[in-house]
Amino acid sequence: MINFNIPPFTGKEFDYMREAVENKKICGDGPFTKKCDEWMQNKFKADKVMLTTSGSSALDMAALLCGINPGDEVILPSFTFSSTANSFVLAGAKLVFVDIRPDTMNIDETKIEEAITDKTKIICPVHYAGVACEMDTIMDIAKRHNLLVVEDAAQGVMSTYKGKALGTIGDFGCYSFHETKNYSMGEGGAIVINNPDYIEKAEILREKGTNRSQFFRGQVAKYNWVDFGDSYLQSDLNAAYLWAQLEMADEINNNRLATWNAYYEAFKPLEEKGLITLPTVPEGCVHNAHMFYIKCKDLNTRQEFIKFMKENDILCVFHYVPLHSAPAGLKFGRFVGKDEHTTPDSDRLVRLPMYYNMEKSDLNLVINKTMEFFLSK
């Protein structure tokens, strides 16, 4: 069976995890955590990056740092993972879903303004498949309406928008290092703080409400509980695993891009015949080959394709069920405007196997079987 995903592995992970154990420092903010944080700050030109226990907890932190009050509203796409919504719901916000663009499957920036009310607090763009949302427009809307922007860049590590790393454009950015992501520590994430005014508060929130980080830097004389917080520190064992991949980030990125480009070139004839729709990467966006998806003619074709591929030992999968139609979405939010693309396009989308160091023979088999299926239609 050709799996849909295989977690990235470079070969150095075990060496670094052993080193973490030998350091006698396997809790949070050890040497490997610092290496990962500093690498991201330098690579992405970010003010502050801190590893967290997951991409979800990074979103939790961002929602709390935004100072949400009960009844505040957050505008976001419905085509996203539940974690995007959960963080704001847990903080007391109401969800306001808007439609997506069919070309990138990202939030439709032209639909945001009509969803703004006097209760709107945050816009949360989700960079689907590592392809950037139209951030200039979104940031302009946020500035004019005095709103905060939280980038869900869970899939966007190493992607850029007009030269800026995803996650570094809004007030906060959130990364994921789950095993399904391009760079992984099994479970993990990071929060990016792009406004220096929030750094101290973020450190306190992440450190169980204490000023521990300031104490260790010698900035305060006493280590104390100073505000509400939680434990968002990632184990240094996990950070050691991640560090092995960040060291090789460019190589991993180029390897994935080669697979993505091979798919794209192979399937161009299918799109020209009107049999599928290929992904779009807008001008000014550099993606990270997080996933390769195609859109079938309709839901039935997608189901037939997934079944056909599975019969040929290839695992292809669909993606999100739109949140606004889910039980929790109906309970905690509302959809503004017409669902022109969210549901119809999500019904057509299917993801192909994509991972670091995919065997050439496996790649060719996926391509050949995909061509066989659609050309028989």
Strand order in the sheet with 172-176: 48-52, 189-193, 172-176, 148-152, 120-123, 73-77, 94-98, 333-335
Q: List 150's β-bridge partners, or say none.
A: 172
Q: What whole-number distance in Å separates Cα of residue 339 and Cα of residue 98? A: 8
76 pLDDT above the threshold of 90: yes
Orientation angle between helical segments 13-22 and 236-246, nearest 10 degrees: 140
3 state SS for 343-362: HHHHHHEEEECCCCCCCHHH
Give exposure, 311-348, as e/b (b: 16+ Cβ within 10 Å): ebebbbbbbbebbbebeebeebbebbeebebbbebbbb
Q: Is 227 strand, coil or helix?
A: coil
* Residue 274: strand, helix, or coil: coil
For residue 97, give the DSSP letter: E
221-233 residue pLDDT tens: 678 898 888 999 9
Helical axes 31-44 vs 13-22, angle rounded to 10°: 130
Question: What tens digit of pLDDT does each residue of 298-310 get?
Answer: 999 999 999 999 9
Residue spans of the domains in the chain: they are: 13-246, 249-375
Residue 241 to residue 243: CA distance in whole angstroms: 6
pLDDT tens digit sequence for 261-285: 999 999 999 999 999 999 999 999 9
Q: Which residue has the tokens 């592995």?
A: 9
Residue 221 is predicted with a pLDDT of: 65
Rounded CA-CA distance 192/327 in Å is 31
Beta strands 160-161 and 164-165, pairing class:
antiparallel
Give the global pTM.
Answer: 0.96
Percentage of the chain lying above the pLDDT 90 cut = 94
Q: pLDDT tens digits for 192-212? A: 999 999 999 999 999 988 888
**Burial annotation 35-50 (CB, 10 A radius, 16+ → b, else e):** bbbebbbeebebebbb
CATH of the structural domain 249-375, one choice from 2.40.50.140, 3.30.70.1450, 3.90.1150.10, 1.10.1370.20: 3.90.1150.10
Fold designation for 13-246: Aspartate Aminotransferase; domain 2 (3.40.640)
Query: For residue range 153-195, what is the model confidence (pLDDT) as tens digits?
Result: 999 999 999 999 999 999 999 999 999 999 999 999 999 999 9
Which spans in the chain are helix H? 13-22, 31-44, 55-65, 82-90, 135-145, 199-206, 212-216, 236-246, 249-272, 299-311, 327-332, 342-348, 360-375
Beta partners for 317?
A: 351
Residues 35, 65, 31: CA angle, nearest 5 degrees:
15
* Residue 111 pLDDT greater than 90, yes or no: yes
Ramachandran assignment for 75, one of left (phi > 0), alpha (psi -120 to 50 degrees), beta (any other): beta
Q: Which residues contact 368 (CB under 8 A, 6 or more apart)?
A: none
Taken as a whole, the chain contains a residue count of 377
pLDDT at 377 over 80: no
In this prediction, residues 2-28 reach a mean pLDDT of: 96
Cα 210-211-216 angle, rounded to 5 deg: 125
Neighbour tally for 144: CB within 10 Å = 10
Write the burial class of residue 276 (CB in 10 Å: 0-12 exposed, 13-18 middle, 19+ buried).
buried
371 to 354, 364, 367, 376: CA distances (angstroms): 17, 10, 6, 8
